[in-house]
Amino acid sequence: MGQLSSIGERTMCRTAICCALFFVVADVRAQTAAVPRAAGQLAVARDAVEQGEVATNAAAEPPRLSPLATEGPKPKPVVPPTPEELSKSIERGVKFLLADQRPDGAWGSAEKSKSMNLYAPPPGSHDAFRAATTSLAVLALIESSPHVRASERPAVERAIDRGASWLEQHLSELKRATPDVLYNVWGHAYAIQCLVALHERAAGDTERQATYKELAQHQAEMLARYSYVGGGWSYYDFLAGTQTPGDAAFSFSTASVLLALKDGERIGVEFPERLTKKAIASLLRQQKPDFSYAYGEYLRMQPMLPINVPAGSLGRSQTCNLALRKCGDRRITDEVLKTWLDRLFARNDWLSFGRKRPLPHESHFQVSGYFYYYGHWYAALCIDELPAAERPHFQDHMAHILLPLQEKDGSWWDYPLFNYHQQYGTAMALMTLVRCQHN
């Protein structure tokens, strides 16, 4: 999961790994200056959110957007994969996950280390990686099961049950690894989404559903505990390592958590409204008029840094736009979503250049490989927001991009991360491709 890793050099984003701790150098100075108001409508929207009003009045005049929000490059026409090719690819990905599941029911491990790995203090970092990866794998199998041959479904269902059992046993142990590392944020967020799917799969079994709801509520409470003092979430606190993290939130981490919490609402998971408002306000402080987003709040005063321009934001704008839309922001219209989907397909090389590179943020526009399948999965969720008649164009482009990237063993991966990268990459790719099928 691209977002599970750290970020590269001081001028890019502040990851945390000095050479003595593998290789990433962190700039730990969180900026506290007031945020400049890049556009009038952004200031109004931000103030509205801080007052608990997210431009949700359907009767009100639609908010005015910068022309940059709905103008962008268009992808060239493609020959889409056939339904048979798409189905075969999904089945191969499912088989990889089935074969790779560990004896205890989880996915991923701290194996396959390399000399330049991420700063991951054991054991807490790997508890987080494994919980997040397992949650994604179970969620992907639940979504993929209807799309594989009937003869394969019993094996898929058994794998889901084994993964769910592992989550039941281990999620309560997931917590902050060290004062400076909070990878657990990803585990809590993806666990909520997985538990919601398991809850819906257990329809009719009230006892099982109650267990899943209780587990999901606990994950939400942990996210409340680790909400940053300025609002939102990140996975590092190099500023002070305080009980309430005092460093700066990242836009994509915050958006991913907000989306997980919105999913949790479907089964009655509760979360403090004041923390939701703070998270949305943090996200808006990082938003630019063209709906690209700063990597994190500490970079909000450098809007034209390469990682903050549209090409550098390709892997996170989809997530941030979707989160704000789900939270009721009427400025995130269908046109905004379509503009950014077209941009993702037309400018896909900017993400692809970073794919499989071992160092974070060394590619063009400071893109890291771990954003590749993450960005495409959330883009597929954006496609789901569009009217059914408008989806095929985007579904075909998405499938055209991802199918050729499947490995010989049926997996997809974008960044070498111990023994988690094939598993999370495959899970995200599968959840993307099942949304590429025309209904």
pLDDT recorded at residue 64: 81
pLDDT recorded at residue 43: 47
Determine what percent of the chain is predicted with pLDDT higher than 90.
79
Please report which confidence band the pLDDT of residue 418 belongs to, taking 50, 70 and 90 as the band edges: very high
How is residue 106 written in tokens?
């989880």
How is residue 321 written in tokens?
């736009």
pLDDT at residue 40 is higher than 80 = no
pLDDT recorded at residue 55: 54
By three-state DSSP, how is residue 143 classified? Answer: helix
pLDDT recorded at residue 62: 63
How is residue 232 written in tokens?
């939102």
Kind plus residue range of the DSSP H or E element containing 320: helix 314-326
Please report which confidence band the pLDDT of residue 403 belongs to, taking 50, 70 and 90 as the band edges: very high
pLDDT in tens, 287-342: 999 999 999 999 999 999 999 999 999 999 999 999 999 999 999 999 999 999 99
pLDDT recorded at residue 39: 39
Determine what percent of the chain is predicted with pLDDT higher than 70.
85
CATH number at residue 325: 1.50.10.20
pLDDT in tens, 87-116: 999 999 999 999 999 999 999 999 887 766
pLDDT recorded at residue 10: 35
Q: How large is the average pLDDT for residues 46-61?
A: 51
**How many Å apart are CA 126 and CA 2, to the nearest integer?**
15
pLDDT at residue 135 is higher than 80 = yes
Range of lowest pLDDT (21-25, 112-116, 172-176, 369-373): 21-25
Chain mean pLDDT for the chain: 88
pLDDT at residue 245 is higher than 60 = yes
Residue 78 is classified by DSSP as: -
**Taking the model in full, what pTM does it have?**
0.88
How is residue 389 written in tokens?
């008649």
pLDDT at residue 128 is higher than 70 = yes
Q: Which of 344, 396, 391, 374 is nearest to 85 (CA)?
A: 396
**How many Å apart are CA 210 and CA 168, to the nearest integer?**
12
Which residues fall within 8 angstroms of residue 382, CB to CB, at 6 or more apart?
A: 318, 321, 322, 337, 340, 341
pLDDT recorded at residue 116: 65
Which residues constitute the domain of residue 50?
A: 2-436
pLDDT in tens, 139-181: 999 999 999 999 999 999 999 999 999 999 999 999 999 999 9
Residue 104 is classified by DSSP as: T
Q: Which residue has the tokens 């989404």?
A: 193
Range of lowest pLDDT (56-65, 306-315, 381-390): 56-65
| C-beta neighbour count of 362 within 10 angstroms | 16
Q: Quote the number of domains for the chain.
A: 1
pLDDT in tens, 191-232: 999 999 999 999 999 999 999 999 999 999 999 999 999 999
Question: How is the chain split among helix, strand and coil, in percent rounded to 5?
Answer: 55, 0, 45
